[in-house]
Structure formats: C-alpha cells, structure tokens
Amino acid sequence: MARGRRNDIGIDYGAIERSKGEAVKAKIAVLAGDGVGREIVPEAVKVLKVIAEKYGHTFEFATADIGGQALDKFGVPLPNDTLTLAKQSDAVLLGAVGGPRWESLEYSLRPERALLGIREALGLYANLRPAKVYTTLVDASTLKREVIEGIDILVIRELTGGIYFGKPKGIEKLPNGQERGINTEVYSTEEVRRIAKVAFEAARKRRKKVTSVDKANVLESSELWRKVVIDVHGSYPDVELGHIYVDNAAMQLVRNPRQFDVLLCNNMFGDILSDEAAMLTGSIGMLPSASLGAKVGLFEPIHGSAPDIAGRNIANPIATIASAAMMLSYAFQLEKEAEAIEQAIVKTLDLGYRTKDIQGPGTQTVGTVEMGDAIVKNLNE
Ligand code: NAD
C-alpha cells in the first residue's frame, strides 16, 4: 500500500496514503506476546473488527509469536518470520513480552530483547505516549484531584538510541576476580535532531510548549542533546522551549504536572518518566503508545506483561484498545474512527464500568473481556 506522510508530527513514518473518505485495506500484524498480552490484544482486535465493519474498511489480521512464547517455540525471542511479517504489514499491534519464567536467561535470549530488536529493525525512533486524565477517573489516581485534574501531557521518547543500544556494553571479568557491567549512553546530532523535530511539530498542534529533559550538568551526551534541541528550536520560534534536569522532572511530574505539554526525553529518561506520568492518570493499564519511524508503525500499551495478574481476566484492556485508536489515526489516517474508539472508552467509563485496577466506590468491576464487550457495545450505539 502506498505510504504517505502525516502532517501533524512532520515526519515520514509510513502512514497509508489515502484520499479523504476512501476505504482502507490494511494488513495488521498482531503480536500478542506474553502474560496479559494474550488477553488484552484480542480485545483490541475485537474493537478493530467492529470499526472495519461499521466504516467499510478491510483489516487483515496476521498473528505471530514474540517474546517468551517465541522463545519456547523457536528458541529466539524475535523469530525472522515475525520480523518479516511486521515489515510486510501496514501496522503492528503488540501486547507485551516477558515474565519470571525467562528472567534468568542471558540478556540476548530474554523476551525483552525482541522489543529492542523490532524497534531497531523497523527504525522506530519516535515513541509517543500521551498521558491524559479521564475526568471520571480523577479519583483513581494516588495523587490529589487538584494536582492531576486536566493534565494532558505528551511524552516523546527517543527509542532507538542512548544507553539501551550504545556500545561498549556487557559484563566483563576483571583480573582481580570481580566483574564490571558496562552500558554506554550515546547520541549523535542527527538522532537528537530528528526526535526534537517530532517534539516541536507535535507541540505546534497542542499548547506549543516543549520541555526537554536532560542531565546536562553531569553528562556530556546530555550537553550535546541540549545544544541540538536549542538549535532545532531555531526553526520553531512559535513554540516555547524549556529545559529540565531529569531528577527535577521526576519531582515536578508529581508536584505540578499541569505545567507540562510536550516532554522530550531520551530513551532511558523517557522510559522512566512515562511510567511516572502514567500513574498520574490512575493506572498503567490505561495508557497507549505509538512508535513511529520511517516504515511501519508499532502500537502497544505502555505496560508490560503483568505476570502477577495474567490469565485471570482482570487486566485492563483500555491501554491496548486506545493503542488501536492511535493506529487508526497515525498509521491509517482514520481520524473519525480513532475518535469513535476514544469516545466509546469515555462512555464506558462514564457508565461506571471498571477493571480491578481502576475500581472505586459506586462503580461496577468487570473483567478484561467484559470491558472489551462494553466498549464494543458503546461503539455501536
Ligand atoms: P508491568 O507493566 O507488567 O506491571 C506493573 C504493574 O502494573 C503490575 O502490578 C501489573 O499488575 C500492573 N499492570 C500492568 N498492566 C496492567 C493492566 N493492563 N491492567 C491492570 N494492571 C496492570 O511491569 P513489570 O511488572 O515491571 O514487568 C513484568 C514483565 O513485563 C517483565 O518481564 C518486564 O520485563 C516486562 N515488560 C515488558 C514491556 C513490554 O512488553 N513493552 C514493558 C515493561 C515491562
């Protein structure tokens, strides 16, 4: 399918090209993975099928193994067939990978390596994580209502550089019998430039404010990060730019999160701060993400495989269903359809449906499947 450009973040990242109103025919790679991934992904697929039927689109779903499941079957966490399927698809829907069963394996075999592998192979350098508080869930947060009411933050995390990929890396034996663990935080000008551009473009469509997170007081890689961000800002005079050290950012996120609009982060700072931002909204089970690059986009909840609750029909599927909505918007340019899913989620919450992680007084606690069913029902009404 022809690939185009979506204007609102100003980068080419493999969105399907379509004229307004034209039906979409798309192939979606479905990688449920491990733990709750196997429960929440079917709920998102259920919602996408209803969207296809309701709006006249054709979505072909092709499943493949990833993570621990793939390791058990094929001896590797990211089989070539899975990667080939992802590359040949128009978008990838991912659940989560990992679990205690595979935790003692060497790093190269761990399920989590599949995430790094697929991000690298698809060139997914921009990770977008919106953290918005649903009005009906304000009291589900551990923070006070007056702190979190109205927060609407977009964390933009660089995804293919920094300390998770930098070399040298590894654990080496020292002559004195001890060991030494090494990872390297490394960023090039171009890597910072392209992610900064995404942040400024996204801010232009929002409240026009970028806060760049770094540790420029002690890290040289952060010094370069800040220099390049300031340079890119030169082309965006209409957007306000601020800088914040990561330790202060962690503090400000719980002290006064409403001050943030777009939070621009490197790979590791974004990993940590986006989980913190997620908790402002009540539950990690609510937050979606989109990972974009030059090719196929990948859409997944921000949480992991939640082995502590897996297999019990209690996981919250909303993060994954909202990730499917991001797929419709970013990969297929189906704004109306994406909006319909978001509205169905809001309506379902307004009606009092809650999974266990967000339950509260006067609400009805439902399971994963029942939450998916309720969202489908509200899509149809
Ligand atoms: P996690 O995100 O899986 O779980 C953290 C907490 O949030 C747990 O208490 C869990 O029950 C809860 N939670 C997560 N998703 C939920 C949902 N949908 N509904 C309700 N509650 C939910 O993080 P973790 O426990 O640190 O990691 C578990 C495994 O997942 C590890 O193997 C880790 O490496 C892996 N992991 C994978 C990804 C990914 O696939 N993208 C991301 C993070 C962690």
What does the pLDDT read at residue 294? 79
- Residue of minimum CA distance from atom 42 in ligand 1: 304
Instruction: Give the list of residues 6+ apart from residue 104 with CB closer than 8 angstroms, or none.
Output: none
**Calpha distance 86→64 (Å, rounded):** 9
* Under-70 pLDDT residues of the chain: 1-20
Residue 107 pLDDT: 85
Edge-first strand order for the sheet with 209-214 is 58-63, 25-33, 91-96, 297-301, 288-292, 126-132, 152-158, 262-265, 209-214, 240-245
pLDDT at 3: 37
Q: What is the pLDDT of residue 9?
A: 55
Give SS3 for 359.
coil
Which positions are annotated as active-site residues? 164, 215, 247, 271, 275
Distance 98 CA to ligand 1 centre (A): 9
What atom in ligand 1 is closest to the CA of residue 309? Answer: 11
Q: Is 159 near ligand 1, meaning CB less than 6 Å away?
A: no
In sequence order, what are the beta bridge partners of 288?
301
Residue 297 confidence (pLDDT): 94
DSSP state letters, 166-194: -SS-EEEE-TTS-EEEE------HHHHHH
Atom 27 (ligand 1) nearest CA: 304
pTM: 0.89
First to last CA, the chain: 32
Query: 97 CB under 6 A from ligand 1?
Result: yes
| pLDDT digits 0-9 by tens, 44-76 | 999 999 999 999 999 999 999 999 999 999 999
| Cβ–Cβ under 8 Å, residues 109 and 219 | no
For helices 37-55 and 335-350, the axis angle rounded to 10 degrees is 120
Supply the pLDDT for residue 380. 85
Would you state the pLDDT for residue 275?
87
Is the Cβ atom of 303 under 6 angstroms away from ligand 1?
A: yes
